[in-house]
Amino acid sequence: MKRPLLAVLTAAMLCSPLASLSAHADDVRSRMIRFGYGLNENSNQGRAAKLFAEEVAKASEGKLKVRTFGAASLGSDDQMQSALIGGAQEMMVGSTATLVGITREMAVWDTPFLFSSAEQADAVLDGPVGRQVMDKLEEKGLVGLVYWENGFRNLTNNTRAINRLEDFSGVKLRVMPNPVFLETFKLMGANAVPLPFSELFTALETKAVDGQENPFNTILSSKFYEVQKYLTVTNHVYSPWIVTVSKRWWDGLSQTEQQILLEAAQKTRDFERQDTREEAARALAQLKDKGMQINEVAPAEVQRMREQAAPAIAKVVDTVGQQLFDQVQAEVDKAAR
């Protein structure tokens, strides 16, 4: 068993709160932190990254300088993950779904229709099982700090409004590079193709793919409405983002420096979730104004899609193990809707 680094750290924080920071000023060195993310600056991800940089500067009296790099300018999620593991980049925020190739337990969050509300997701992700999955990253050279909200995913495409399961037929749909998403949409009958997010807008624009799925926030901030006609409200899965740090780099930090980064990440998480939810609540009307044709799927059809997705859930169980899957289910049941 690996030592749960962050549990130790959290315990240490309780004993030595940040109030004593100035007494430990020697523990904070001048450092540059490259923090990469995939969406553009004018997005929920961009706003939160900016706040994170400000919080870290404040708490470290300007010694820790977070430089944010949006729009995948440091690379796709996959490329940044590798850079963190190798120590060539310090921090990033990205989808848990792209981490599955590194830490298979992350696939548990890919379970279709796992959460029925954002608050339920908070309770499970911030609870013991969320922490347990996050701590698994350490064996692979990453340290997870917090989960942020990407959000409930919905479907856009240019072929037709998706009202019934059969409407997926022949739609070339971009999915995240992740086996469960690939399987889920193949089961729906779509022609699912994995592609990094950084290549998605161009792929939609050039019609290399017909559609994609992402939260309303991203459909808006990435201007997918410019190149997509139909938006189908499916809420088929809740997607977390996760803030990760290069373990190689993290291990060289003082305890005070680690505390500053962790506290700023937590503070930012709370802001980010609220900001994302407020934006999501307004986004649908805005997307309609932009000319998207929006439809909801009738409950009976949603049920058919859920049944059709059952083998994808079996794939999650296969990937993460029955025990972890059951543990997550138990936490989901315990958390109020």
Q: Is 38 in the site for ligand TK8 (CB under 6 A)?
A: yes
Q: How far is the CB of 240 from ligand TK8 (least distance, A)?
A: 10
For residue 110, which amino acid is it? Answer: D
Residue 118 and residue 45: Cα distance in Å, rounded?
17
Q: How far is the CB of 27 from ligand TK8 (least distance, A)?
A: 33
Q: Which residue is nearest to ligand TK8 (CB)?
A: 38
Q: Is 77 in the site for ligand TK8 (CB under 6 A)?
A: yes
Q: Is 150 in the site for ligand TK8 (CB under 6 A)?
A: yes
Q: Is 81 in the site for ligand TK8 (CB under 6 A)?
A: no
CB of 40 or CB of 255, closer to ligand TK8: 40
Q: Is 95 in the site for ligand TK8 (CB under 6 A)?
A: yes
Q: How far is the CB of 294 from ligand TK8 (least distance, A)?
A: 20
Fill in the per-residue mask, 155 to 194: x = in contact with ligand TK8 (CB under 6 A), - = not in contact: ---------------------x------------------
Q: Is 239 in the site for ligand TK8 (CB under 6 A)?
A: yes
Q: Is 197 in the site for ligand TK8 (CB under 6 A)?
A: yes
Q: How far is the CB of 35 from ligand TK8 (least distance, A)?
A: 13
Q: How far is the CB of 330 from ligand TK8 (least distance, A)?
A: 27
Q: Is 214 in the site for ligand TK8 (CB under 6 A)?
A: yes
For ligand TK8, which residue of 6, 28, 33, 39 counts as binding (CB under 6 A)?
39
Query: Interface with ligand TK8 by CB under 6 A: which residues?
Result: 38-39, 77, 94-95, 150, 176, 197, 214, 218, 239
